[in-house]
Amino acid sequence: MGQHDQTVRNAEKLVERAMKGNDASHDAAHAFRVRDLALSLAHEEGLPSPHSMFVVELAALLHDIGDHKYVREHSEEAMMVERFLEEEGLEESLKQKILGIIKGMGFKDELARTEFGKFPLEFGVVQDADRLDAIGAIGIARCFTFGGSRNQALHDPQIHPRLNLSKEQYMKKDEKQTTVNHFHEKLLKLKDMMKTQAGKRRAEKRHNFMQDFLTEFYEEWEGRA
């Protein structure tokens, strides 16, 4: 087993250890699905080298360790990925590529961005993979799992979705929101935010499935179905 293969195995163990206390919307299974999706998208996009695939695999596996929804910023847990990469002895350029992908891929960060220049293909496939896992059938299941873990109401017609969200509004934890509103505030926007052609192709089906689900949900809620 080469050094890169061993680092991937060690990363898998870290994921299982660090994410075991999370609810099922952001558990180890999510990280492993994102890894598999990212590698699949990378193959479709013709990512050029094993070196690039290693960056994609590690960034995808580690992307949610230290997530702000589960740990305090700048806490010991938030620094876990950086410490892991140092302990694995990765060269600085590799380490910075992986950390750069992880730090830049959040929806909240894109809300705060005013310019969208070119991006490395490694970044595009990892971000698209994470966003694909947030939509479609699994996306619906994850959304309601997370809402349930935070005791959110399923739906309240009196609480309207917050459109044109800022990063600060998106991260507000004390504002009363519903799980269904999250579809309008984020999930239905993801199809048009895909970075790669492979990601766009896959997002289409998942997006349509969510729209059909919401149509049925509202009809049932209002007693029309």
pLDDT of 163: 81
The pLDDT tens digits along the chain (225 residues) read 578 899 999 999 999 999 998 999 999 999 999 999 999 999 999 987 889 999 999 999 999 997 777 666 656 766 899 999 999 999 999 999 999 999 988 776 665 554 555 789 999 999 999 999 999 999 999 999 999 999 999 999 999 998 877 666 666 665 788 999 999 999 999 999 999 999 999 999 999 999 999 999 999 999 998
Domain count, the chain: 1
- Domain residues for the domain of 106 are 3-221
Distance CA 80, CA 76 (A): 7
Beta-sheet strands, E only, within 61-118: none
Instruction: Kindly tell me the sign of the dihedral angle through the C-alpha atoms of 164, 170, 172, 174.
Output: positive
CATH label of the domain that carries residue 95: 1.10.3210.50
Q: What is the pTM for the complete model shown? A: 0.90
Whole-angstrom CA distances from 84 to 14, 58, 130, 154, 216 are: 8, 11, 21, 38, 45
198 contacts 43 by C-beta, under 8 angstroms: no
Determine whether 119 is exposed, middle or buried from the number of CB atoms within 10 Å of its CB (0-12, 13-18, 19+): middle
